């Protein structure tokens, strides 16, 4: 029984972590592509020589793409981390409620048995 519970916990934890890592990588890649396209387009529009733009525009658009991809990835990591913390807090709250409820029932039974023994 314990091994099945551990396997279920392991499967759930690995599922959540793999989802979070996948979301971070996906959004980081989207930010990278979006930054590269925006950097090249704005560089070509602002460069007075037309197309193709100078090498500086390419370097600047790559730097912008890396910064935007990193920003997308870190924002996603932060959101996924907060979701995980909220989920863990809810799970702990449920376990604490169950334990407190059982403890209060036990205390109630003890109090009743002590009151019955009073002369």
Q: What are the tens digits of pLDDT across the range 30-63?
A: 999 999 999 888 888 887 776 677 888 889 999 9
Task: Report CA 50 to chain centroid distance, whole Å.
Answer: 43
* Domain assignment of residue 108, yes or no: no
Structural domain contains residue 53: yes
Q: What is d(CA 117, CA 3) in angstroms, rounded to the nearest whole number?
A: 44
pLDDT tens for residues 58-67?
899 999 999 9
In angstroms, rounded to a whole number, what is the distance separating the alpha carbons of residues 55 and 90? 53
Query: What's the count of helices (H) and strands (E) in the chain, helices before strands?
Result: 2, 0
CA 47 to each of CA 34, 80, 115: distance values in angstroms, whole numbers, following the listed order: 20, 39, 90
Q: Say if 96 falls within a structural domain.
A: no
**What range does the domain containing 31 cover?**
2-85
CA distance 106 to 113: 11
C-alpha–C-alpha distance, residues 40 and 14, integer Å = 39
Residue 28 lies in a domain: yes
Q: Could you tell me which residue, 74 or 1, shows the higher pLDDT?
A: 74
User: Is 109 within a domain?
Assistant: no
Number of domains in the chain: 1
Domain annotation covers residue 75: yes
> Looking at the domain assignment, is residue 90 inside a domain?
no
């Amino acid at each position: 029984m314990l091994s099945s519970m551990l396997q279920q916990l392991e499967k759930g934890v690995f599922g959540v972590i793999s989802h979070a890592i996948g979301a971070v990588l996906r959004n980081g890649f989207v930010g990278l592509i979006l930054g590269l396209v925006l950097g090249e387009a704005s560089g070509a529009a602002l460069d007075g020589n037309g197309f193709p733009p100078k090498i500086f525009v390419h370097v600047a658009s790559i730097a912008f793409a890396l910064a935007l991809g990193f920003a997308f990835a870190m924002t996603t990591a932060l959101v996924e981390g907060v979701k995980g913390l909220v989920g863990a807090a809810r799970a702990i709250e449920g376990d604490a409620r169950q334990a407190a409820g059982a403890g209060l029932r036990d205390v109630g039974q003890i109090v009743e048995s002590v009151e019955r023994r009073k002369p």
